[in-house]
Amino acid sequence: MNLLQLKYFQAAAEYEHMTKAAQALNVSQPALSNTISRLEKQIGVPLFERQGRQIKLSPYGKTYLHRVNQAFYQLEKGQREVEEMAGPDKGLISFATTFPSVLPFLLKEFLEVYPDAKFMQNQAFIEKDIIKQLEKQEINICISTFPIIHSDIEWLPLVEEEIFLSVPPEHHLAGRGSIQLIDAANEPFISMAQDDYFRELTDNFCREAGFKPNIVYEIAEASIIQHLVELNLGVTFTPFLFAAKINKHRSVQLKIENPICKRTIGLAWHKGHFMSQSVEQFKRFCQEFFEKSML
């Protein structure tokens, strides 16, 4: 057997469908099927129970997959440890974040201290995708605006970030400085899309205040939302960091006295995976960056 056979086996086990696994591997379905058949012949037991192209791991296959995953983890760990020995300040940091708008400021400051660091960012905005990427070692760490809860994942809360209400400069609430959220109950709201975690959070704020927001626009990009607020087309919720670092628009940020509108920013990583010195440095830097940014 060889590593290619084991990679194919992992993919077939993940998708439980030969055609889908072949597409993910960018190989033909017959090539994948033949590779799996040769592996089963070498081991001497069926690894899958077959129903056409739909497959399911056999009891032998489940046991074998566990060991294969462990083997690949150890190989990956060894590679990272060797890379770390060769250049501890030059390692690749692979990460995901649920609020990429803060990245230019975070990475700029980090690279000023560690100029040889290299980054690879993955897209991940929902909990299950983050967990999957951490488990498969596609990312080393995730900067998240909501807790990542899983038995194998370490979640470290860093700071509580306040959420403001953004209104146009000429808005009748603009001069008040702070409001009760119920004061905005009759306002037209511009919000993130329904499947966005921040949207779920802000809808809950409104629910707690005793009203359902009148959402007139749903937009996927936060900076566009701020432009619409400037044009007096509605009001919106804005996190502190976006308002302080990114938002250079003319909208006015109002403190919400009631209910308390905050979210938690934290870091998540896999408990059992090797963390290089470069990633450890990035983790410590993130802690300092967000604590300093809230001052």
Q: How far is it, in rounded angstroms, from Cα 201 to Cα 237?
A: 10
User: How many other CB atoms sit within 10 Å of the CB of residue 6?
Assistant: 19
Range(s) of the chain covered by CATH 3.40.190.290:
90-295
Q: Give the SS3 label for residue 183.
A: helix
Q: Are strands 262-270 and 153-167 parallel, antiparallel or unpaired?
A: antiparallel
Per-residue pLDDT, 276: 84
pLDDT band at 50 (very low <50, low <70, confident <90, very high): confident
Distance in angstroms (rounded) separating the CA atoms of residues 163 and 237: 6
Instruction: Report yes or no: 167 and 254 within 8 Å, Cβ to Cβ.
Output: yes
Average pLDDT, the chain: 91
Would you state the pLDDT for residue 249? 64
Q: How confident is the model at residue 209 (pLDDT cuts 50, 70, 90)?
A: very high
| 277 and 83 Cβ atoms separated by less than 8 Å | no
As annotated, the residues of the chain forming the CATH 1.10.10.10 domain(s) are 3-79
79 has pLDDT over 70: yes
Q: What's the one-letter identity of residue 186?
A: N
Question: How far apart, in whole angstroms, are the C-alpha atoms of residue 290 and residue 43?
Answer: 51
Residue 253 forms beta bridges with which residues? 166
What pTM, to 2 d.p., does this model score? Answer: 0.72
Task: State residue 192's pLDDT score.
Answer: 93
Query: 70 or 207: which carries more pLDDT confidence?
Result: 207
Confidence of residue 43 (pLDDT cuts 50, 70, 90): very high
What confidence tens digit (pLDDT) does each residue in 107-120 have?
999 999 999 888 99
Residue 202's pLDDT is 97
CATH architecture of 3-79: Orthogonal Bundle (1.10)
Asked whether the predicted pLDDT for residue 237 surpasses 60, the reply is yes
Distance CA 294, CA 288 (A): 10
Helices (H), 114-236: 127-135, 197-209, 222-230
Nearest-angstrom CA–CA distance, 165 and 213: 13
Residue 84's pLDDT band, with cuts at 50, 70 and 90, is low
* Confidence class for position 85, pLDDT limits 50, 70, 90: low
What's the CATH class of domain 90-295? Answer: alpha beta
Q: Kindly report, residue by residue over 240-292, the tens digit of the pLDDT.
A: 998 887 556 688 999 999 999 999 999 999 998 888 888 999 999 999 999 99
Can you tell me whether residue 159 is helix, strand or coil? Answer: strand
4-35 confidence digits (pLDDT tens): 999 999 999 999 999 999 999 999 999 999 99
Farthest CA pair distance, the chain: 77
Tokens of residue 136, six digits: 């498969």
In this model, does residue 57 exceed pLDDT 80?
yes
* pLDDT tens per residue, range 174-189: 999 899 999 999 999 9
